[in-house]
Structures are given as structure tokens and as C-alpha cells.
Amino acid sequence: MANNPAASPRVRFAPSPTGYLHIGGVRTALFNWLWARKMGGSFVLRIEDTDQERSTPESVKVILDSLRWLGLDWDEGPEVGGAHGPYFQMQRLSLYEKYAQELIDKGKAYRCYCTKEELAAARESLRKDNPKAQFRYPGTCRHRKDRPDAPYVVRFNMEAVQREAVTYRDLVFGEITTPNREQQDFVLLRSDGVPLYNFGVVIDDLTMGIDLVMRGRDHMVNTPPQILLYEALGVKPPTFAHLPMMLSPKGEKLSKRHGAVSVSEYEKMGYTPGAVLNYLARFGWSCGDQEIFSLEELVDKFSFESLNRSDGRFDAKKFADVAFEHLKEPRLTSDADYSRHLHPFMAARGLGSVDEAMLRKAIGTVRARGRTLADAAERIEFYFRPVVFDDKAKEKFLTPDVVEPLQAMIACLSSLDSFDEGEIEQAIQQLLASRGWEMKEIAQPARVSLTGQKVSPGVFEMLAVLGREESIRRLRQGVQIARGTAS
């Protein structure tokens, strides 16, 4: 691309606090964050709370918490402050007022006294006369010289724009040209002085020194009027980069109808932040054939050249696989991180405090099995509580004929010097060889004794995690059941 981004960019993520943090929004935030981190720039968080109908403080908290959980830290914004604050638009109203006045003074904007009702009526009558026509504000108040004592909005004056079209170079899509006849005298300030999206964004990006605006392609249509606004103010517009959209599996706009779309839902399902970010990063961006990335790798490898232009469809199965890959690989989720992320899921099962050293060893035995943290917690809990027997498992595998092998196993384990997995396996294999038994004969009885279930990690690795004392205790219990002397 001819337009090179600045060396030390100032980028921003500007969500509106009207609900949860949408994964599409996370992807936008991620790409901005990656670029800032890679280039040593600044990632600014700004809250666009000008929709007073829908904005709530709870949503602000949810969004901030989600970003923190993901690890997308912001250099300036709510709670951390910064030199360009405040970072809530509703606290910047005087700024918008000031710039609006400047535009009015220059003849680039004007007060419009038309009421919503009048506009709605005009829209309606046009629709009746010519259903195909598109309503545009006719500029009724453009040249009014009087200043009635009535509510007004401030509108941009397209008449003051000389050029026929706006052309800009998008970092992803290349040169984009939009004819100005598509624009109209759009509203800058509402009658209550609160700015509309396009005006608020421009004034904030300008005053916050944002030099690269990276956002979803659904905003591409906002770029020309925003550029017109920068020009009317006599300043150079930032560079723009639009991202292809993430659509639903059916190709529609992604919404809650299509499953989980809020980050917190993935947190609850037991996906790690790294996995969420990984999946989202590979959506519209690629790096050769590599699929799995750590956050550090993403920072290192992100570039605009490898951003895609076409929209894609969200694929929950692929996402689930990425989540699993991250849990399997200690490089991506260390034992410490695994343990930390697993904690809430253990707590939910009443295991809020377990021995950390044992937990970490246990994690090693479920990494290749637990597809989510929730799943892992379920698979791991037997280590930390008395055995709960599955009736069918007990009936099928703890029968009188397994008493002897189980007892031999107990004796064998009792005689070991150390109790690590390798040594256990070696000793048991020797036992099997000497008696002419096969592993498959004793594996299920041992497994059911140790876990109560038919499905579990490998017998040797479980013994090593449980330790000699607990292992023998559970095996003895198995023997008792097999003998029929216990139920």
C-alpha cells in the first residue's frame, strides 16, 4: 500500500456500551491492539456513550472486564486516564459544541430548525410519490438568517463542499472513491447538544491524535462524510483501514441468533483468552499455513499486507478446535495459566481450594482430553474427591475374578521405592509379565477403582498423580467391592 502507517501509531477502540462485548468488536480491538503493540504505538480506549437510550454503566463495566480478561490492555482510557481525556464522549460535550460553532462560523455547518415530525412527514410523502427515491434532507434551513427561539440541530453544509467526490486510500481495500451526491446535510449535533456518531468520532479522533482508524467494513460508508468533516475543519484526516466482516454461518450479520457472540460466553464455556484471540486473528488475516499462534507471535507477525478483503463466516467448530489446541499445548497455556483459568470451573464444582502441586500434575493428564476448561474440570475432579462409582462400571469391572490382580497390583505398588509414572509402569509391566497377565485385563478394574468411571486418563499417570497412599487406598476399596464385601 502506498500509504504507510505511522511509525508510532495512535489507534483506538471505541465501543458503545449498549450490552456485552461482541466478538466482532473484539476482533477490531485486537487488530488495533496488535498494531499498537507491534509498532510501539498507543492503544486508546474510548467509550461512545452518546446513545443515552441504550448506554448503561453496567455495559461499560462488562466491556472493560472483557477486555481485561482478554489481556487487551489500553494505554489511555477509562480507569487509566491519559493526556487526551476524558474518554467518555458524554464528558466531552463542550468540545463538540466548540467545533460545531467553528464550522457554523466558517459556513460549513448551520442550524436546522426542522422538527423530527416535519422530516418524517417529508420522508413519508417522498416515499408515496416515488418509492424508489432516497430521501435526503433538502437543505431547507441552509440559508436561514433568523435565529428562532426553537430547538435546532446542527447540520453539515454539503453546499460548501467544492469537490465532486471523496477519494481515500484504505490500507486494506486500496483506493475508494465515493461521489458526494451520495451525501446529504447530515446532522452533527442533536438538539440536546449531544453529537451524532460521525461528528463525535471525528472530533474525538482529531483531538485524541488518532492517526490510524481501523474498524469494521460496515463503517466504510461513514468514511467519506468523516473525511469531509476533517477537511471542513482544515485538518488532515487519519489513515483508514477497514476490516472484512465476520458473518454468521449462514452469511448474515452475526448476532445472538447464531449462538454465542459475546466474549463472556466463551469465557464461561471455558475457552482461554489466547484461544479466543487466536481464532479471531486468523479471521481475515493469515500468516502462510500457520493456524495456531501465541499472543506474542501475533504481535510479531501481524501486518496489513496479510489482511484479507473478503468477508467470512464464523465457524464454531474451528473455534472449538483452536480452543482445544491452546489447552493441549503448554507453550500456549502454561501449567500455571491452565491452573489459574481452571480455578473458576473447579470452584463451580465445589473444589475451590485444592492442592496446587497436585492440580498441576493432574492437568498434565487431561491436557489431551479436555476440550474446554469446563470439560477439563469435569475430567479432573475425581482426583480431589472420594470416588463416585458409576453403577455400570462397577458391575462390569469390579467382579470377584479381579480381586487377585488388584491385590497383586497393590503389593507391587507398596514395594516401590519412588512413585513416578515411569517407575510405576515398569513395575506393573514386570508384574504382568511374571503372571502372564495382559494390561487390558487389569486396566479397567484398576481404572474403575481409581476413578469410579470407565473413562479416564491412563492408569499409570493417574497413579503417579494420586500418590502411593491414595492410590492404594482406592485400589483396596476396589478389592472390597469386587469381593462383594462393600457396596
Partner RNA sequence: GGCCCCAUCGUCUAGUGGUUAGGACAUCGGCCUCUCACGCCGGUAACCGGGGUUCAAGUCCCCGUGGGGUCGCCA
Site residues for RNA, window 445-474 (CB under 7 A)?
Answer: 447, 454-461
* Residue 268 binding RNA, by CB under 7 A: no
- Given the rule CB under 7 A, which of 30-38, 242-250, 269-277, 471-479 is the region that contacts RNA? 242-250
103 or 187, CB closer to RNA?
187
- Selected from 3, 140, 191, 480, the binder of RNA by CB under 7 A is 191
Number of residues that bind RNA (CB under 7 A): 82
End-to-end CA distance of the chain: 74
Q: Does residue 112 contact residue 152 with C-beta atoms inside 8 Å?
A: yes
Give min distance, CB of 353 to RNA, in A: 27
Cα separation, 187 vs 101, in Å, equals 14
Write the CA distances from 382 to 8, 84, 409, 462, integer angstroms: 52, 53, 21, 10
CB of 165 to RNA, least distance (A): 8
Stretch that binds RNA, among 186-194, 348-356, 406-414, 475-483 (CB under 7 A): 186-194
Residue 286 in the binding site for RNA (CB under 7 A): yes
Minimum distance from CB of 352 to RNA (Å)? 26
Least separation in angstroms between CB 219 and RNA: 6
Q: How many Cβ atoms sit within 10 Å of the Cβ of residue 221?
A: 10
Among 177, 334, 426, 430, binds RNA (CB under 7 A): 177
Residues forming the active site: 256
In the bound state with RNA, the residue whose beta carbon lies nearer, of 247 and 431, is 247
Footprint (CB under 7 A) of RNA, residues 308-327: 308-313, 315, 317-318, 321
Does 478 interact with RNA (rule: CB under 7 A)? no
How far, in Å, CA of 395 to CA of 121, rounded? 78
Which residues, 70 to 109, sit near RNA by CB under 7 A? none
**Prior bond to 86 cis, omega within 30?**
yes
State the DSSP code for 383.
G
C-alpha count within 13 angstroms, C-beta hemisphere, residue 18? 11
Q: In this structure, how many other beta carbons lie within 10 angstroms of the beta carbon of residue 79?
A: 10
Contacts of 147 (CB under 8 A, 6+ apart): 111
Contact between 440 and RNA per CB under 7 A: yes
Stretch that binds RNA, among 4-12, 75-83, 134-142, 475-483 (CB under 7 A): 134-142
Q: What are phi and psi of 484, to 5 degrees?
A: 85, 10
In the sheet that holds 174-179, the strands lie side by side as 174-179, 165-170, 239-243, 212-216
Binding to RNA (CB under 7 A) within 370-409 occurs at none
Binding to RNA in span 349-368, by CB under 7 A = 368
